[in-house]
Amino acid sequence: MPTDINLWPLLGVAVIIAGFVLRFNPMLVVIVTAIVTAFAAHFPVEKILATIGTGFIKTRNLPLIILLPLAVIGLLERHGLRQHAQRWISGIRSATSGRLLMAYLGARQLTAAVGLTSLGGHPQMVRPLLAPMAEGAAEARFGALPDKVRYKLRALAAATDNVGLFFGEDIFVAFGAVVLMTTFLREAGIEVEPIHVAMWGIPTAVCAFCIHAWRLRRLDAWLAREMAGSAPTSPTTPVATAGKGA
Amino acid sequence: MTLTITHLYDLVGLILAITAVMTLMDRQHSRRYSSAFFWGLYSLVFLVGDQLPPVWVGTGVVVMALIAAFGGVGVGHHVVRSAAEYTASATRLGNRLFIPALAIPVVTMVGTLSAKVLVVGGTPLLDPKNATLVSLGIGCLVALALACKLTHETPVQGIRESRRLTDALGWALVLPQMLGMLGLVFSDAGVGKAVSHVTTSYVNMDVRFFAVLVYVVGMALFTIIMGNGFAAFPVMTGGVGVPILIGVYHGDPAVMASIGMLSGYCGTLLTPMAANYNIVPAALLDLPDKNAVIRAQVPTALCLLTCNVFLLYFLMFR
């Protein structure tokens, strides 16, 4: 075992965990963690700021996927996209929130597995279409939803996009993660074929679909129970409700 | 001319600069000056960030974080329409509303897939290294044109709507990049080496099942800390995977790598550090609980992690 390893940077890990657990403002937690970690690694002040600056410039691509679609999505929302998505889904008799999300999960996994990762996403798919449709399908069945139910449907719509993407994309041979894994193993003197790495992603992908789809199936039963209890006592939430039947 | 990611940075910088100016002119804004300063600084990162000395950028980032942390980024005044107006235009436009919305993913996909073919005189039209993001940019511009034509609105109204949503997201919009930066600081400071040192020195791996458990759960835990499976993979695979699972127990490396990485993704579902997947969607969907998406994912992630332990154990040593 080498003994010259500096264990002090682990202080940064402690800071970030404590910060999130104690629910400080995440921006404050992150900046304090960055400074503490760099300080623990014996960086001088100027180098700390330069490391933060360089890191921030290197990661400029991260917010693009959120920022770029906002103008279009906002404009369409102003003209009733969400209301129309809700009404459109409520015209389909067999549509339930659970079944809709399950179908989306399957489609998201399959398209990600053939490399079409950009067919979904939170700003361009979940906010304007998937979440309103999940709410619309539930409203068509049970009437106006209390906020608790509405928020749970939205959170599950976002979760379904994540699960579908994560456990689909690794099956695609040309995906960055597969390249990263084979490159890392090659440097360690182990040769593996990218296609084998991609193939062994399939068992976990199947498990991911079964587990999450099973949870989505139970969602419909949960909705029925929840709405049976609360429907007569709290008749309406005045949030823009879509008309029933198209 | 090749369309590169730099053009997107210019575009986003411009949108943010206009957002900052609109904020400054919004007299009904409660935190008018500090919010405008925040978005103005952020627009500079995109417009001229790579030409500035890193120390300046770093100082700017610290200032932005402090403005956000002490409540300096507020929500401006936005004219909202009534529920009746929404319903009326939804009825009028009907299914045509879906066309611009679906144009974004469709154009992105077509652009990504055809980037290799779009070459004029030896120069690629789309930057091959960032084909998806550049295509997304084109998709958004095409969709904006379609949306303006459909709704008879101007692109300026599009920017106003963009500002409305940017305000709704607030500093959460910057968080993914802050956390990406933190990941790089962690790696420069040697956090990965320290974690792998601690894991390998203090955990007993004499039992094969236990070694598998350490690798799978370690990948998830380290991803929770770093917010990114890509950062956890070299650490856990270099520390535990290659020396123990392959070196000592002679497992199949392809199975180890694949299931190991997917165990990391289970960690991604559980952590606020993966802001783009967990915190930003909560803000985008107007959820009062910022951790609501993580809460919705906990059962799936934990069940799947358990599956991965057994999948790795049985498939790796066939």
List the single residue in A with minimal CA-CA distance to B182: A34
Please provide residue B313's backbone torsions phi and psi, each rounded to the nearest 5 degrees: -60, -45
Taking CB atoms and an 8 Å limit, are B132 and A118 in contact across chains? yes
DSSP secondary structure, A83-129, as one string: HHHHHHHHT-TT--HHHHHHHHHHHHHHHHHTT-GGG--IIIIIIII
Taking CB atoms and an 8 Å limit, are B189 and A43 in contact across chains? yes
What tens digit of pLDDT does each residue of B264-302 get?
A: 999 999 999 899 999 999 999 999 999 999 999 999 999
Q: In sequence order, what are the residues at sequence separation of 6 or more whose Cβ sits closer than 8 angstroms to the Cβ of residue B10? A: B46, B47
Per-residue pLDDT, averaged over B79-87, amounts to 86
B63 in Cβ contact with B110 (< 8 Å): no
What is the Cβ-side half-sphere exposure of residue B240, based on CA atoms within 13 angstroms? 32
Residue A246 pLDDT = 36
Q: Which residues of A touch B112 (CB under 8 A)?
A: 115, 118
What tens digit of pLDDT does each residue of B166-224 get?
A: 999 999 999 999 998 998 898 888 888 888 788 777 777 788 999 999 999 999 998 99
What CA–CA distance (Å, rounded) separates B231 from B112? Answer: 25
Please provide residue B317's backbone torsions phi and psi, each rounded to the nearest 5 degrees: -115, 60
DSSP A213: H
From the CA of B283, how many Å to the nearest CA of chain A?
10
Question: Which of A28, A180, A200 has its CB closest to that of B233?
Answer: A180
Longest dimension (CA), chain B: 70
What CA–CA distance (Å, rounded) separates A151 from B84? Answer: 23
- Exposed, middle or buried by CB within 10 Å (0-12, 13-18, 19+), for A112? buried
A98 in Cβ contact with A153 (< 8 Å): no
Compute and round to an integer the Cα radius of gyration of chain B: 24
Partners of B124 in the β-ladder: B119
Mean confidence (pLDDT) of chain A? 88
In this predicted structure, the answer to whether residue A1 has a pLDDT above a threshold of 70 is no
From the CA of A25, how many Å to the nearest CA of chain B?
6
Taking CB atoms and an 8 Å limit, are B195 and A211 in contact across chains? no
Taking CB atoms and an 8 Å limit, are B269 and A159 in contact across chains? yes
Say how far residue A92 (Cα) sits from the centre of its chain.
26
Per-residue pLDDT, averaged over B135-162, amounts to 94
Per-residue pLDDT, averaged over B13-42, amounts to 94
Residue A230 pLDDT = 59
DSSP A184: H
**CA-wise closest residue to A165 among A134, A127, A125:** A125
Model pTM score: 0.89
In this predicted structure, the answer to whether residue A68 has a pLDDT above a threshold of 90 is yes
Residue A3 pLDDT = 55
List the single residue in B with minimal CA-CA distance to A72: B144
What CA–CA distance (Å, rounded) separates A177 from A169? Answer: 9
What tens digit of pLDDT does each residue of A182-209 get?
A: 999 998 899 999 999 999 999 999 999 9
Number of residue pairs across A and B with CB atoms under 8 Å?
434
pLDDT, greater one: B171 or A241: B171
A178 in Cβ contact with A199 (< 8 Å): no
C-alpha distances out from residue A241 to A2, A216, B165, B264, Å: 64, 23, 21, 40
What tens digit of pLDDT does each residue of A129-172 get?
A: 999 999 999 999 999 999 999 999 999 999 999 999 999 998 88
In this predicted structure, the answer to whether residue B152 has a pLDDT above a threshold of 80 is yes
From the CA of B141, how many Å to the nearest CA of chain A?
8
B292 in Cβ contact with B299 (< 8 Å): no
A152 in Cβ contact with A146 (< 8 Å): no
Q: In sequence order, what are the residues at sequence separation of 6 or more whose Cβ sits closer than 8 angstroms to the Cβ of residue B134? A: B3, B4, B5, B7, B8, B111, B115, B126, B127
Taking CB atoms and an 8 Å limit, are A72 and B104 in contact across chains? yes
What CA–CA distance (Å, rounded) separates A199 from B177? Answer: 32
From the CA of B275, how many Å to the nearest CA of chain A?
10
Angle between helices B175-189 and B191-202 (to 10 degrees): 60
Token readout for A78 is: 């102003």
Q: Is this prediction's ipTM beyond 0.85?
A: yes
Angle between helices B175-189 and B229-236 (to 10 degrees): 20
| pLDDT band of A234, cuts 50, 70, 90 | very low
